[in-house]
Every structure is written in C-alpha cells, then in structure tokens.
C-alpha cells in the first residue's frame, strides 16, 4: 500500500471539482435510501476501484454507482444487468450533472435530487456550475491511493472497538474519510445546531478521519475530535510526536506528510488514532472496559 504525495496546491482545482461530482452522486444515494442514525445512509465507501454508493433500491431493482479512479469513469450498474459509463475528464459540474441524470433516465432510473451543494462557501447549483471543470487523472489516482491506505488502517482501528461505531465511510459534504466511536451516552443538545448537526451529534462521540485540507488548513491531514470536548483535552499527550492540538480547528491534527514520510506510515497513523481516542475517552470518562476488546 502506497502513501503518495498529495499537496493540495497541485490539485486544488481537481479537488474542488471532484468534491462537487461526489455531491451529485452522494445526493442520489441520499434520495434512494432511508435515513440511518447520524446520516450513515449518505456516505460513499472506498472500493476496489475508487468510491462506491453500494447497492441502492429503486422499485424492484437495485443499482450501484462507482467512481472508478483506475479507468477514470463513473460506472452505474443495475441488478438487471444494465451498465452505463461516464468518462471522468475535464468538464464542468453542470455537464457532469446533466450527463449523470441523463444516464440514469436511460437506465430507467428516475431520481430527483436537490441541486444545491452543501457544506461549502458560495455554493452554485449543480446545473449552473460552469466554474468547477478540472480533472487531473494523476492526482485523482493519488487521492484514491490515500483513501485506500487510510481506509486499511482505520478499518483495523475500528475492529478494536466493540461499542457502537460507524463504518469507515466517505462524507461527500465535508469531503473526508471518517470513522466515529460512541460512548453510548446521549450528548447535551446544541442550542444553535441545524438538523444535520443535531442528528450527527445526538450522542457522545470521538471521531477520526482524513481530509485533503481545503479551507484555512491548506494541506492534507488526519484529525480527531471528541464531542462534547472534555476539560483538559487540548493538553493531552499524543503519539506520534508530530501530532498536535489546533486552536483554530479545536481538534487534534497530524499532517498527512508526517504520516507519509514516517518510517512506518501505518504504525504512525495507528498511534495517532489510538492516542487521541484514549485522550478523549479517559477525560470524558467513557466505560472503556466494556467498549474495547
């Protein structure tokens, strides 16, 4: 498993475009699946070729959509044997949206989605977005390699916890790969929270993930946060040494390059996942004896 270089500056336009493309497909999954606690019905999943919706019901049929970052295609397969493909190449979000919805109609899959992107600044409706139109297959492939390498370690980390835990999944809104552990206790209500936040943080959580670094961070990083955050969390001792508390983001960070260039990247990432979990769980007084193997 490789950990390739992925500086955001070198693929930021492709990243922004791919973010919108995954939102189009993610909203199709949202439209076709029943609500699962904490919005677990909406993410995509790392697959052998890229990112997949997994199978979704449509009447008596099922269909699946997969971003194939090996062949650079969006592939849609239905349970009755139909297959349709859209090339992943430089094209606007508006074009990608039109091609995707037309592909579904040709397969007899009538789906309607809300066309406004979420969790970004200055959103442009998918069918009007001519601004984001970049696709570099080299960096899309590297992005997939990072997801695969990260997913492998995060799956192992998840397996050590026997309490309630999310799958390792890719949230297309925030564009990050994440896994979340739960104490089993309800969390205090957030007075100003919107519907999405209320559902996501209805219970105590410790969440870990990786994202490419859009926004003020500007570089890819692994993160961890405990919600609600217990007193003293920011001062907790962490492993490896390059992990740190970000006052700006109010969470723990470990830059991706510090994992990628470590003597053993898998071990460095696992140390970050375990030490940040331990910090949050101990300070929040989780019943670790009953939650862990």
The predicted-structure confidence for 25-50, as pLDDT tens digits, reads as follows 999 999 999 999 999 999 999 999 99
Element (H, E) at 256: helix 256-260
Q: How far apart are CA 270 and CA 272, in angstroms?
A: 5
- Tell whether 113 is covered by a domain: yes
- The residues pairing with 207 across neighbouring beta strands, listed in sequence order, are 180, 225
Mean pLDDT of all residues belonging to the chain: 96
3-state secondary structure 175-222: CEEEEEEEEEEECCCCCCCCHHHHHHCCEEEEEEEEECCCCCCCCCEE
Among 128, 163, 183, give the residue marking a domain's end. Answer: 128
Q: Inform me whether the pLDDT recorded for 156 exceeds 80.
A: yes
249: helix, strand or coil: coil
Give the residue carrying structure tokens 């977005």: 129
Dig out the tokens for 112 from the structure. Answer: 């309607």
Residues 143 and 287 in one domain: yes
Backbone phi and psi for residue 109, each to the nearest 5 degrees, phi listed first: -110, 100
What are the tens digits of pLDDT across the range 54-100?
999 999 999 999 999 999 999 999 999 999 999 999 999 999 999 99
Q: Inform me whether the pLDDT recorded for 189 exceeds 90.
A: no
Residues 159 and 206 in one domain: yes
Residues 67 and 174 in one domain: no
Among 105, 128, 151, give the residue marking a domain's end. Answer: 128
Range of the domain at 180: 137-291
Q: Inform me whether the pLDDT recorded for 196 exceeds 80.
A: no
Residues 143 and 282 in one domain: yes
- pLDDT number for residue 237: 96
Q: Inform me whether the pLDDT recorded for 1 exceeds 90.
A: no
Average pLDDT over residues 211-232: 96
Among 71, 93, 128, give the residue marking a domain's end. Answer: 128
Q: What is the pTM of this model?
A: 0.96
- Tell whether 1 is covered by a domain: no
- pLDDT number for residue 194: 86
């Amino acid at each position: 498993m490789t950990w390739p270089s992925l500086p955001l500056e070198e693929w930021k336009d492709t990243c922004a475009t791919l973010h919108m493309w995954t939102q189009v497909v993610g909203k199709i999954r949202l439209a076709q699946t029943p609500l699962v606690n904490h919005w677990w019905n909406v993410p995509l999943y790392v697959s052998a070729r890229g990112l997949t919706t997994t199978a979704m019901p449509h009447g008596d049929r099922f269909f699946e959509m997969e971003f194939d970052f090996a062949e650079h295609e969006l592939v849609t397969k239905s349970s009755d044997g139909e297959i349709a493909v859209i090339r992943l190449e430089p094209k606007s979000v508006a074009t990608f949206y039109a091609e995707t919805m037309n592909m579904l109609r040709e397969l007899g899959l009538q789906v309607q989605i809300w066309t406004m992107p979420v969790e970004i600044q200055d959103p442009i409706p998918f069918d009007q977005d001519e601004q984001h139109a970049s696709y570099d297959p080299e960096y899309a492939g590297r992005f997939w390699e990072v997801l695969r390498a990260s997913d492998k370690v995060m799956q192992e980390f998840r397996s050590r916890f026997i309490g309630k835990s999310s799958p390792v999944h890719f949230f297309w809104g925030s564009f990050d790969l994440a896994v979340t552990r739960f104490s089993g206790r309800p969390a205090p209500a957030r007075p100003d929270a919107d519907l999405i936040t209320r559902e996501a943080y209805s219970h105590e959580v410790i969440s870990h993930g990786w994202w490419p670094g859009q926004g003020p961070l500007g570089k890819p990083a692994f993160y961890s946060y405990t919600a609600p955050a217990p007193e003293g969390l920011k001062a907790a001792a962490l492993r490896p040494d390059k992990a740190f508390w970000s006052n700006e983001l109010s969470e723990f960070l470990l830059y991706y390059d510090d994992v990628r260039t470590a003597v053993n990247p898998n071990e460095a990432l696992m140390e970050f996942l375990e030490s940040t979990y331990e910090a949050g769980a101990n300070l929040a007084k989780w019943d670790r004896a009953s939650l862990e193997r």
